[in-house]
Amino acid sequence: MKRIEVKLAVPVVAPLLDVIRALGEAPPVPPPGVNVPPDADPDLRGAWIGELAAAESTEVRALLALFDEAFFREGVVAFDAENAEVILRACSVLRLRLRESYLRAWGDDALESGDVEAGPFEPGGHKAMACFLFLATVQELILQHLGDNILTN
């Protein structure tokens, strides 16, 4: 099984994990981007939102599980065909949550282009932006090295 190991600077990453944990522990609200079809009956609406919220929770837990005691000793996280998909999705939803909670002031163009050298940060925004960029880097690594595995799963 293809596997990539990434060495990270623990003192840099640890504060970002606090941001991720806080997002993961926030009161449940419909995940970003949820659009229930028009005229959906209450059962479908409830199941639709409930399933997506449960999936989000599973994804965030899977991401946080990477940063266990071994990570804090050695600074290494590993991605493989088994966890690539769930981690990729976790990064996506967390980046959406970060935008909702901390990064609105940046504007969509800045977030989309990645041109975030300067700008008005909301409280907690510096850490949130670092987290936003860190999660994008994780996604890029997975897409580059394990994208084919995800397509063939």
Closest CA to 134 of 114, 109, 108: 114
Distances (CA, A) of 89 to 26, 69, 121, 124, 153: 18, 23, 26, 24, 15
Dig out the tokens for 89 from the structure. 């999705």
Binding status of residue 82 toward another protein by CB under 8 A: no
Q: Let me know: does 32 contact 97? Beta carbons within 8 Å.
A: yes
Give the separation between CA 121 and CA 31, rounded to whole angstroms: 23
The minimum distance between CB 78 and another protein, in angstroms, equals 20
- The residue among 99, 101, 100 whose CA lies nearest residue 133 is 99
- Smaller CB separation from another protein, 75 or 85: 85
CB 66 within 8 A of CB 77: yes
Q: Which span (12-20, 48-56, 62-70, 120-128) binds another protein, by CB under 8 A?
A: 48-56
Tell me, by CB under 8 A, how many residues bind another protein. 33
- Of residues 82 and 140, the one with the C-beta less far from another protein: 140
User: For another protein, which stretch binds (CB under 8 A), given 5-13, 15-23, 36-44, 123-131?
Assistant: 36-44
Residues contacting 125, CB < 8 A, separation 6+: 102, 103, 105
Binding string, 2-31, against another protein, x = CB under 8 A? -----------------------------x
* Beta bridge pairs of residue 3: 80
Would you count residue 38 as binding another protein (CB under 8 A)? yes
> Should residue 88 be labelled a site residue for another protein when binding is judged by CB under 8 A?
yes
Binding site for another protein (CB under 8 A): 31-35, 37-38, 41, 43-44, 47-48, 51-52, 55, 88-89, 92-93, 95-96, 99, 108-109, 111-112, 136, 139-140, 143, 147, 150-151
